[in-house]
Amino acid sequence: MDVEIVKKEGTIGPEQLSELELGLTVLWNSVRRWMNQRSKASLIAGLSDLDTFLLHLLVYRERPLRATDLAFALSIDDMHLVSYSLKKLVRLEAVKTARLGKEMVYSATEKGQQHYAEYLADRKRYLEPAMRYFSAGEFDAEGLKDLFRAMSAVYEQAARAAASEKGS
């Protein structure tokens, strides 16, 4: 089922947009809290949400990736954050490096893959039962993912336009 957005009369007003942004911010902070909390009791303790996202992306993609590929996939502009996180993951032996021509690529180690397996087990235990509540109705995760990607593109374009217009 596709996510349907029922258009009401008029357009999205400032109040509705503020409520949408607030809801997205609360969701993002909740996801980050989940990632940080479960990381405290995992095989590799002390990972930040960014560390966890990068490690899981490497496991999920099942192939070596450049730091720029990871930053692009997560829409992160500050490469310093990604580089710092990857160095930390290498130091913790969750990620290994290799040279591909002139470039450095990263891939998950066995330890990193075990961390991801722990995460999946925790997600199955703690998140999936709650998510079943949504799937009992007309919830469409695939459509929601597409909607979030489309909204991300709108916000990215608005950020570029504002930066261009304001000269930053």
Gap between the Cα atoms of 140 and 84, Å rounded: 36
User: What is the predicted pLDDT for the residue at 1?
Assistant: 40
Lookup: tokens for 12: 């999205």
Low-confidence ranges of the chain (pLDDT < 70): 1-10, 135-139, 168
Question: Computed from CA positions of residues 17, 19, 23, 25, in that sequence, does the dihedral angle turn out positive or negative?
Answer: positive
User: What is the predicted pLDDT for the residue at 156?
Assistant: 83
User: What is the predicted pLDDT for the residue at 9?
Assistant: 59
User: What is the predicted pLDDT for the residue at 3?
Assistant: 46
User: What is the predicted pLDDT for the residue at 140?
Assistant: 76
Domains of the chain: 18-137 (1.10.10.10)
**In the chain, where does DSSP find H-type helix?**
14-40, 49-61, 67-73, 79-91, 110-122, 128-135, 141-166
User: What is the predicted pLDDT for the residue at 168?
Assistant: 62
Q: E strand or H helix at 99, and its extent?
A: strand 95-100
